[in-house]
Amino acid sequence: MATLTTPPEVEQAGSSTTTMTYREALRLALREELEHDEKVFLVGEEIGVFEGSYKVTAGLFKEFGPKRVREAPISEEGFVGLSVGAAMMGLRPVVEIMTLNFILVAMDQVVNHAAKVRYMLGGEVGCPLVIRTPNGAGNQLTAQHSQSFEQWFAHVPGLKVVAPATPADAKGLLKAAIRDDDPVIVVENLPIYKEKGEVPDDPEFVTPIGRARVAREGTDLTIVAHSFAVKRSLEVAEQLESELDVSAEVVDLRSLRPLDTQTVADSVSKTNRALCVEEGWSSYGTTAEVAARIQDACFDDLDAPVGRVGMAEVPMPYAKNLENATLPHSEKILGAAKHVLGVA
């Protein structure tokens, strides 16, 4: 199995690291930021006594109390709206939405208010709001709980959207989001909550928003992905190496808005072939945007059309065999890679 490689920021941090899960790295970031800034508070359903549906907030209610870790009723529009107002007044709320699917109830607060406050008030009032929420499929949670909507939010000017794929970036990007003066959507991923990796102990370590990383270097093909698709892309890169002696470079976008086009373009200019991978639907999705930017920036460098892989464009089935057929597993990515390479 491929491992999620250490981001360069970790290697350059010059500090000690600890091996922990993606879930634990998120919790560490929250704890450090609650300690760092008294204006930070958490709000969400079941995040206090129950310690969160996915145990990301375990221990924080006991440590910081109900004023800093606030239990919310089942009313996403209500507590997201409350948090928008709190952010406008100078606090730094961190909202947990149980899954990305439930944020649909609060879309008006996110898109029409949080994203537009700074612009509509001429920069006099900001909205330093963080919304963290898991997405992804593969757990037989069916059509209403297995969607990837991060591209919806990346479409909206005024919002920033990050999608960490490693424990180090889970900590670093969440901390960067909390310290940012604009609203940031932190898109986590259910299947990788349990993944382990090295995470810097330094409480001042942050991962810059808007900067992609090269997760694996290569010379023959660039695979661009984010979130859990990075793990699958790394597995495919290893298969290409062992089966075809093809050297694939994997670029982890990390941030969807702002999008680091330069790192992607530099990679494609070197490899001359590109494959874009996402867990969401491809139509009007992240891969569509990235492919368009590659075509614009690297047209003369491309030796083949840009390939794209996404989830089958159907509501997610419950049956495990049908769910597997719907997801962009490594076999699909491998087949698309071979097609781009002209060896299919």
Give the distance, in angstroms, between the CA of residue 91 and the centroid of all CA atoms in the same chain.
24
Under 8 Å between Cβ of 249 and 225: no
In this structure, the chain runs to a length of 344
Torsion, Cα of 63, 67, 73, 75 (10° steps): -120
Residue with tokens 């982890």: 252
Under 8 Å between Cβ of 214 and 305: no
Please tell me which residue in 145, 278, 279, 289 is annotated as part of the active site. Answer: 145
- Could you give the CA distance from residue 309 to residue 247 in angstroms, rounded to a whole number? 19
- Token pair recorded at residue 166: 């490693």
- Token pair recorded at residue 321: 């065999």
Amino acid at 156: V
Catalytic site includes residue 76: yes
Name the DSSP letter for residue 285. S
Catalytic site includes residue 188: no
- Token pair recorded at residue 284: 């009007």
Please tell me which residue in 32, 33, 51, 76 is annotated as part of the active site. Answer: 76
Enumerate residues 6+ apart whose C-beta is below 8 A from 226: 150, 163, 165, 252, 253, 254, 256, 278, 286
| Residues noted as catalytic | 76, 145
